[in-house]
Amino acid sequence: MRFKARVMEPPDIDRALKRLAHEVLEATKASRDLAFVGIHTRGIPLAKRLSSLVERFEGWAPGFGELDITLYRDDLSEVKRAPVVRSTRVPFDVRGKRVVLVDDVIFTGRTVRAALDALADLGRPSRVYLAVLVDRGHRELPISPDFVGKNLPTSKREVVKVKLREVDGEDAVELWERES
């Protein structure tokens, strides 16, 4: 792959997350039945940051959970190696909650579909929202995020790489291109 551009720096990511937290609070009317659930891997630190921002802005901590979707993927039979199953930790009852699913990038929508299936196995929230740091287009399913940090139109040959300090040691969003 060939590096093309760095499209978000740490201040851009911080600004986008603050805006997303405010948008979530506005949409949910700062309801105390709010919870953030991050999708493994990079959705988790983003959900944690959003949860912390809401706590800072409102003075109360929303629920926070971690969701593994590995066994819910529709391409599991196509994976050549054994899938790595991580833990799902949602330490609250999702029934009646306003749950914000959080992921780093939305592309085809298949990850979100799997996350919705995994979440449904935990109970029935009163409302599910979707927050993503980057929306790159190219949906294969009729899924659209409610909250977007950055819309980044891409070609199918391009790859969006999100780096987060909790996982990668730095914050950045980069655009790469697959070699022909």
Nearest to 36 by CA among 113, 100, 91: 100
- pLDDT computed for residue 180 by the predictor: 76
Is-contact 116 74, C-beta < 8 A? Answer: no
User: What mean pLDDT is reported for the chain?
Assistant: 95
Q: Which domains does the chain have, with CATH numbers?
A: 2-74+84-177 (3.40.50.2020)
Tokens of 108: 């085809």
- pLDDT computed for residue 94 by the predictor: 97
- pLDDT computed for residue 76 by the predictor: 64
- pLDDT computed for residue 30 by the predictor: 87
Q: What is the mean pLDDT of residues 141-146?
A: 97
Q: Is the pLDDT of residue 23 over 70?
A: yes
- Cα Rg, the chain, nearest whole Å: 16
Q: What is the mean pLDDT of residues 18-37?
A: 96
- pLDDT computed for residue 132 by the predictor: 98
Give phi and psi for 167, each to the nearest 5. Answer: -110, -45
Choice among 3-7, 14-18, 71-75, 102-106 with the minimum mean pLDDT:
71-75
Verdict on whether the full-model pTM lies above 0.85: yes
Q: What is the mean pLDDT of residues 31-55?
A: 97
pLDDT digits (tens, 9 = 90+) for 60-83: 999 999 999 998 987 766 666 767
pLDDT digits (tens, 9 = 90+) for 71-121: 898 776 666 676 777 889 999 999 999 999 999 999 999 999 999 999 999
- pLDDT computed for residue 78 by the predictor: 65
Tokens of 116: 């919705």
Share of the chain residues as helix, strand and coil, in percent rounded to the nearest 5: 30, 30, 40
- pLDDT computed for residue 52 by the predictor: 98
Q: Is the pLDDT of residue 11 over 70?
A: yes
- pLDDT computed for residue 87 by the predictor: 87
